[in-house]
Structure 1
Amino acid sequence: MYDAEFLDRLTNGVKGLMPVWQTAADADVKLLTISENATFHIDDTALGRSLVVRVHRPGYHSEAEILSELAWIEALRRDGVVATPRPIAARDGSLLQTFFDGETARHAVAFEFMSGREPDTETDLAKWYGKLGEINARLHRHSQAWTRPDQFIRKTWDFDRIIGDRAYWGDWREALGLTPDGRAILERTHAQLASQTRLYGYGGDRFGLVHCDMRAANLLVDGDRLGVIDFDDCGLSWFAYDFAAAISFMEHEPFIPDLMAAWLEGYRRVAPLGAEHEAALPMFIMLRRMQLTAWIASHAETPTAQSMGATYTDGTVALAERYLIEHS
């Protein structure tokens, strides 16, 4: 799926759409990243335009879901909640475009280019996670107050859809390299998380519209500004789950307590966060880790999954074993 021929087809599909975004036909088009969605940079030096185009994976989000994401982004920008790129409309005002890759329809959305770099995990990550806590608090307050437009629809990330029977990203039991002993540990952890999330509940003070993927790869630092990109996984979930998602793929690192402390301090500079919600953070970190372990297994063809492999599964089992001891 990720061979040169496939990427050439996607690149040509993006080039075919460039006129609708009023960019020159000979503008430079380069692939930025690919995991499930593919992201391209269009640099039109003649017109001084720079766009980022996201080509959606088929069969995941409906047109209504993608347009709902864009509606929230526009509301967040209008209300000054977070620095995030503006969706770019076509000549006819439409925000969602489609091209065909053979018989497969591919949806594409353009955004203005946002400058910046990913926060450096070696030096300044805690500083930026303090700012991220502030952003999360503003976003959650907005989520609770915002009146969603008619036809608004996004996925719900509850226990059942994260690692339960209807999980969107597959079954963690298919994890790469999972041993019988490791499976037994994760089965106990699964049962405990099911009980604990049920007790924590889904009330309006803790469950609502969240970004759900503010990991370092989706943050852009430029001077003192912290920008947030990629609302592709935004949906209804626990507010505290936003922190768990923000440390995706590095849950095992020794600096995570420092990031959590910085995030909590930043959050509380903007909005209160009670002890009950702080105490729930380890639960959501473990829940997210198991979800990502399932994702790696069900998306083994992706570069991200291939870079993690069975080592990530082993780390998940180790974290789960510690979680059972410390949070039963």
Structure 2
Amino acid sequence: MAVNQALELWGMQDASYHLIAARENQVFRVDINGSSYALRLHRAGYRTNEELRSELQWMDAVSRGGLHVPAPIATASGDFLHIADGVQIDVLSWLNGAPMGATGQPLETKDRTSLFLGIGREMARLHHVSDRWVLPDDFDRCSWDRNGLLGSNPLWGRFWENPTLSADDREMFEALRGKMATELTQLEDTLDYGLIHADLVRENILVDGDRLQLIDFDDSGFGFRLFDLATTLLKNLQEPDYPELKEALLAGYRSERPLDDSALDLFLLLRAATYVGWVIDKLSEEGSELRNQRFIDTTRKLALRYLG
């Protein structure tokens, strides 16, 4: 079994373990000698070995830069990534805490403004540490650039071809794609661009007392920094105090790093559209019908405002 082989590689053959997540990657909690770790068996075909090694190198740099993220654990050979029975495997430090919330459910937290101030600060620190890090020559991650968002084969699918779109929505989304591409072409040279997490949704921000921890770097890569801010905001649009949460997030970011948010509405729409593409090959999965409709409705609402 891949887990047992992996534990031997990391010198943890006497450890106990149990499965804690299996939605994308399989994640096991490993306990040994009073310490805990997260062992990941990566889903086949999603990332190349080079991409995963790059992800782990970046997480290591971010952890050493002072952020609270899962730190990759090397084996005796010094490698972060190993292949066992054709499965890509790594081991990360274990982080305590609980997700700040769940997508699609009301946000339940006492000091909401402080929470979003903190998220903004951590996001800015992530971008700052990443800019200071010298990338390895063989670093390889995806790009959430104009082509990755709006090109002929976007990273998360051709949202304008979602088969459940009505004729009116399809026409609007095709027009939307062209308009967003034109605007992004005009803006991209002026926008802050670099390594981003790309998926800072509620489930990927763990709260442990006053500590905010960023997890799940599966979709990280190069991108516009506004994309990270838009990802967090998009999942909180329905909160009754959304304007206050938005201002707190931006203020937290600005407390650590300069920010021009004049194109934020564009990136909210870009981020919304990615989910309409992402869900296409998951439409047969349980619960996807409701998610798909929610993604389309959100994008339509933002698009109508954007298109005027």
In the superposition, the TM-score normalised over structure 1's length comes to 0.84
Q: Give the CA deviation at 1:154.
A: 1.2
Structure 1, residues 100-119: CA drift from partner, whole Å, max 9, x if none? 3xxxx321211111000111
Distance, in Å, in 2 between the alignment partners of 1:262 and 1:248 is 15
Q: Select the residue among 13, 17, 20 that pairs with 1:31.
A: 20
Distance, in Å, in 2 between the alignment partners of 1:299 and 1:58 is 16
Q: Give the CA deviation at 1:26.
A: 6.1
Q: Give the CA deviation at 1:178.
A: 1.1
Q: Secondary structure at the match of 1:240?
A: helix
Aligned to 1:313: 296
Contact kept? 1:251, 1:289, Cα under 8 Å: no
Q: Select the residue among 238, 244, 261 that pairs with 2:247.
A: 261
Distance, in Å, in 1 between the alignment partners of 2:137 and 2:59 is 16
Distance, in Å, in 2 between the alignment partners of 1:70 and 1:26 is 23
Aligned to 2:98: 117
Q: Select the residue among 190, 201, 226 that pairs with 2:177.
A: 190
Worse overlay, 255-264 or 212-221: 255-264
Question: Is 1:43 matched up with 2:16?
Answer: no
Superposition map of 1:60-209 within 5 A? 60-80=46-66, 82-100=67-85, 105-120=86-101, 121-123=107-109, 124-175=111-162, 177-203=164-190, 206-209=192-195
Contact kept? 1:38, 1:55, Cα under 8 Å: yes
Q: Secondary structure at the match of 2:186?
A: helix
Structure 1, residues 31-56: CA drift from partner, whole Å, max 9, x if none? 3241x323222234xx2231112222
Q: Secondary structure at the match of 2:40?
A: strand
Structure 1, residues 171-203: CA drift from partner, whole Å, max 9, x if none? 113325310011122122212211111111135
Contact kept? 1:42, 1:50, Cα under 8 Å: yes
Contact kept? 1:134, 1:266, Cα under 8 Å: yes
Contact kept? 2:19, 2:26, Cα under 8 Å: no
Contact kept? 1:30, 1:41, Cα under 8 Å: yes
Q: CA RMSD in A?
A: 2.2
Aligned to 1:226: 212
How many equivalent residue pairs?
A: 302
Distance, in Å, in 1 between the alignment partners of 2:35 and 2:162 is 43
* 1:107 alignment partner AA: Q
Question: Is 1:239 matched up with 2:220?
Answer: no
Contact kept? 2:4, 2:13, Cα under 8 Å: no
Q: Secondary structure at the match of 1:279?
A: coil
Distance, in Å, in 1 between the alignment partners of 2:26 and 2:245 is 29
Distance 1:57 1:135, change over 3 A: same
Question: Is 1:210 matched up with 2:199?
Answer: no
Distance 1:158 1:216, change over 3 A: same
Structure 1: unaligned runs, 5 residues or longer? 1-11
Distance, in Å, in 2 between the alignment partners of 1:250 and 1:299 is 23
Q: Secondary structure at the match of 1:128?
A: helix
* 1:30 alignment partner AA: L
Distance 1:92 1:39, change over 3 A: same
Contact kept? 1:176, 1:310, Cα under 8 Å: no
Q: Give the CA deviation at 1:236.
A: 1.0
Q: Which runs of 4+ in 1 moved over 6 A?
A: none
Q: Secondary structure at the match of 2:98?
A: coil
Distance 1:247 1:298, change over 3 A: farther
Distance 1:213 1:88, change over 3 A: same
Q: Secondary structure at the match of 2:218?
A: coil
Query: Matched residues, percent identical?
Result: 32
Q: Give the CA deviation at 1:71.
A: 1.3
Contact kept? 1:175, 1:313, Cα under 8 Å: no
Aligned to 1:19: 8
Contact kept? 1:131, 1:263, Cα under 8 Å: yes
In the superposition, the TM-score normalised over structure 2's length comes to 0.89
Distance 1:256 1:159, change over 3 A: farther
